[in-house]
C-alpha cells in the first residue's frame, strides 16, 4: 500500500466536502436514491465522496450493510462494480429496484397495460394494524398491483409502490402519516380514497427525472454480513454504514413496508432478533463480520465504516468507532484514521417509540469515519 497516497486521501476526507455547497443538500444526487425511505440512511453526497476518495473506476466495492442501496447505487453511477448485501428483505427489495433499469417508457407501458386495479378483494386476512392506515378501496388496489408486480418480476415498480405506500403527501397512498416511520398522528385523520395507478405513474416519472445508465455493474444479495456468499480475496474496497446499535430499530421502523414486502409481523420479530442491532451482542456480532470481511477483502484493501456514537445517558457515550477499531486490529486490520463528522441537530432523528408515536430527539449527532486496511503496512 502506498502510505503517502493514503495519507493524502485521509487529508481530503477531513475536508468533509459533502457538507459544502450543493453537496450539503439532503436530496443531492440522482432521484433514484429517493425511491423509498429508510431510517439511518446516509446522504448520497456523503457516499459519493467516500467512493470518489477511496476507490477507482472498475473497483469491486462491497457494502455488507447496504440498507436501501445508497452506496451501491452511487458507486454504480461512478463506474464501479458494486455488491450490495443486507439481511432486511425490505432493504434488499429497494436496492434491487434501483438496479432494475428497463427505462421509463418500458415502465409506463407496463403500468398502462395492466387490467383495472379495482376489484372485490377480501381484506379479512389483512391485519388490523395495516388496514387502519388505508381506505379499503385504496388498500385493495395496492394488493392487486402488488400481486401483478411480484408475479411479473417488476422490481423497479415494486420499489416505487413500497416508496409511496405511506407518507404525509397527497402522492402517498395512506392517510397522512410519517414518511420514514409509519405512525398515525393524534387526532387520527380520516383515510380517504387515493387511486393507486396515477400515483405510481407519477412516482416512476420522478425516479427517472435524472438520466440513469441502462447497464449496471451491480449485484444485490439478501444475506447475513457474518456469512457472505462471496469468494476469498474478491473485494477491492468495503464502504458501509453498519447498524447503529441501541439507537435505531431497522425492523419496527419499517414494519408497514416490510409487511407489503411479504414479511409477516411474526417474521419481523424473528428478523429483529437476527439483525445486528442489540447492545449486548453488537460487538461480538461485528467481530464475526470483521472475520468475514477479512476473508473476502484482497490484501491491503481498505475497509471504510461510518459509525455513530451511542448516547446511553448524558454522561455515558459509547465511541463505536474506537470499539470496532480495537477489535478489528486483532483480526488483522490496521486503523489509519478515525475522522469525525458532526451532524447538525436539525438533521438528527433518533427514533424512540411510545405507543404509535415517533419522537425526535434533537441532539447533535456525531458520526465517525473509520478507515482501516487489511494487513496494512
On whether both 230 and 265 belong to a single domain, the answer is: yes
pLDDT band at 280 (very low <50, low <70, confident <90, very high): confident
Q: Return the percentage of the chain with pLDDT > 90, whole number.
A: 79
On whether both 219 and 91 belong to a single domain, the answer is: yes
CATH number for the domain including 70?
Answer: 3.40.50
On whether both 194 and 116 belong to a single domain, the answer is: yes
pLDDT of residue 343: 72
Q: Is residue 109 part of a domain?
A: yes
**pLDDT single digits (tens) 116-169:** 999 889 999 999 999 999 999 999 999 999 999 999 999 999 999 999 999 999
On whether both 125 and 66 belong to a single domain, the answer is: no
DSSP state, residue 79: T
On whether both 122 and 264 belong to a single domain, the answer is: no
Q: Average of pLDDT values for 169-185?
A: 92
On whether both 131 and 193 belong to a single domain, the answer is: yes
pLDDT band at 363 (very low <50, low <70, confident <90, very high): low
Final residue in a domain of this structure, among 157, 177, 207: 207
The full DSSP string for 24-58 is GSTT-S-GGGGSS--TTPPPHHHHHHHHHHH--TT
Q: Which three cell numbers stand for residue 89?
A: 428483505
Q: Which three cell numbers stand for residue 257?
A: 413496508
pLDDT band at 194 (very low <50, low <70, confident <90, very high): very high
Residue 356 pLDDT exceeds 60: no
Final residue in a domain of this structure, among 207, 242, 273: 207
pLDDT of residue 265: 93
In contact, 37 and 349? CB cutoff 8 Å:
no
pLDDT of residue 364: 61
Please list the residues that pair with 351 across neighbouring strands. 360
Range of the domain at 19: 3-98+212-300
On whether both 76 and 217 belong to a single domain, the answer is: yes
pLDDT of residue 278: 82
Q: Is residue 353 part of a domain?
A: no
Q: Is residue 360 part of a domain?
A: no
On whether both 112 and 242 belong to a single domain, the answer is: no
Backbone angles phi, psi at 302, to 5 degrees: -90, 150
User: Average per-residue pLDDT in the chain?
Assistant: 91
Final residue in a domain of this structure, among 183, 207, 231: 207
Backbone angles phi, psi at 317, to 5 degrees: -120, 135
Task: Tally Cβ neighbours within 10 Å of residue 28.
Answer: 16
**pLDDT single digits (tens) 294-341:** 999 999 999 999 998 887 767 677 899 999 999 999 999 999 999 999
Q: Which three cell numbers stand for residue 70?
A: 445508497
Q: Is residue 170 part of a domain?
A: yes
pLDDT band at 1 (very low <50, low <70, confident <90, very high): low
Q: Return the percentage of the chain with pLDDT > 70, whole number.
A: 92
Residue 199 pLDDT exceeds 80: yes
pLDDT of residue 161: 98
CA dist., res. 107 & res. 111, Å (int): 6
Q: Within 13 Å and on the Cβ side, how many CA atoms surround 241?
A: 23
Lowest mean pLDDT, pick from 27-41, 97-111, 138-152, 362-376: 362-376
Kindly report whether the global pTM for this prediction surpasses the value 0.85.
yes
Q: Which three cell numbers stand for residue 62?
A: 462491497
CA dist., res. 271 & res. 274, Å (int): 5
Residue 170 CB-density burial (10 A; 0-12 exposed, 13-18 middle, 19+ buried): exposed
Task: Tally Cβ neighbours within 10 Å of residue 171.
Answer: 14
**Residues in Cβ contact with 197 at an 8 Å cutoff, skipping those fewer than 6 apart:** 111, 114, 117, 141, 145
Q: Average of pLDDT values for 260-267?
A: 96
Cα 325 off chain centre by:
23
Residue 357 pLDDT exceeds 50: no
Structural domains of the chain, count: 2
On whether both 140 and 202 belong to a single domain, the answer is: yes
On whether both 199 and 222 belong to a single domain, the answer is: no
Q: Within 13 Å and on the Cβ side, how many CA atoms surround 9?
A: 22
On whether both 218 and 71 belong to a single domain, the answer is: yes
Q: Is residue 244 part of a domain?
A: yes
pLDDT of residue 361: 46
On whether both 198 and 233 belong to a single domain, the answer is: no
Strands (DSSP E) found in the chain = 60-63, 81-86, 218-222, 235-240, 297-308, 310-313, 316-318, 333-343, 351-354, 357-360, 365-374
Amino acid at each position: 500500500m502506498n502510505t503517502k497516497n493514503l495519507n493524502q486521501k485521509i487529508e481530503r476526507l477531513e475536508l468533509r466536502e459533502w457538507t459544502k455547497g450543493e453537496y450539503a443538500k439532503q436530496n443531492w444526487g440522482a432521484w433514484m436514491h429517493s425511491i423509498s425511505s429508510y431510517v439511518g440512511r446516509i446522504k448520497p453526497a456523503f457516499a459519493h465522496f467516500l467512493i470518489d476518495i477511496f476507490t477507482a473506476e472498475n473497483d469491486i466495492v462491497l457494502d455488507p450493510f447496504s440498507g436501501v442501496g445508497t452506496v451501491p447505487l452511487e458507486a454504480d453511477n461512478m463506474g464501479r462494480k458494486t455488491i450490495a448485501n443486507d439481511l432486511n428483505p425490505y432493504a434488499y427489495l429497494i436496492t434491487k429496484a434501483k438496479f432494475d433499469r428497463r427505462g421509463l417508457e418500458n415502465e409506463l407501458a407496463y403500468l398502462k397495460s395492466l387490467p383495472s386495479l379495482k376489484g372485490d378483494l377480501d381484506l379479512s386476512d389483512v391485519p388490523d394494524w395495516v388496514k387502519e392506515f388505508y381506505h379499503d378501496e385504496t388498500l385493495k388496489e395496492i394488493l392487486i398491483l402488488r400481486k401483478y408486480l411480484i408475479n411479473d418480476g417488476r422490481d423497479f415498480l415494486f420499489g416505487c409502490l413500497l416508496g409511496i405506500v405511506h407518507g404525509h403527501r397527497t402522492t402517498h397512498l395512506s392517510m397522512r402519516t410519517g414518511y420514514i416511520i409509519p405512525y398515525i398522528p393524534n387526532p387520527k385523520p380520516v383515510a380517504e380514497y387515493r387511486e393507486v395507478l396515477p400515483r405510481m405513474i407519477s412516482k416512476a416519472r420522478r425516479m427517472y427525472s435524472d438520466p440513469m445508465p441502462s447497464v449496471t455493474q451491480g449485484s444485490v444479495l439478501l444475506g447475513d454480513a457474518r456469512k457472505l456468499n462471496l469468494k476469498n480475496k474478491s473485494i477491492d474496497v468495503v464502504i458501509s454504514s453498519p447498524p447503529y446499535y441501541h439507537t435505531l430499530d431497522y425492523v419496527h421502523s419499517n414494519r408497514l413496508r416490510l409487511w407489503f414486502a411479504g414479511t409477516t409481523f411474526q417474521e419481523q420479530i424473528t428478523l429483529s432478533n437476527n439483525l445486528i442491532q442489540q447492545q449486548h451482542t453488537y460487538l461480538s456480532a461485528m467481530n464475526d463480520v470483521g472475520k468475514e470481511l477479512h476473508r473476502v477483502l484482497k490484501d491491503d484493501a481498505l475497509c471504510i465504516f461510518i459509525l455513530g456514537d451511542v448516547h446511553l445517558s448524558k454522561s455515558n457515550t459509547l465511541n463505536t468507532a474506537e470499539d470496532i477499531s480495537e477489535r478489528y486490529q486483532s483480526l488483522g486490520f490496521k486503523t489509519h484514521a478515525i475522522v469525525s463528522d458532526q451532524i447538525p441537530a436539525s438533521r438528527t432523528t433518533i427514533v424512540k417509540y411510545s405507543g404509535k408515536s415517533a419522537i425526535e430527539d434533537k441532539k447533535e449527532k456525531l458520526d465517525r469515519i473509520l478507515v482501516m486496511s487489511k494487513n496494512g503496512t
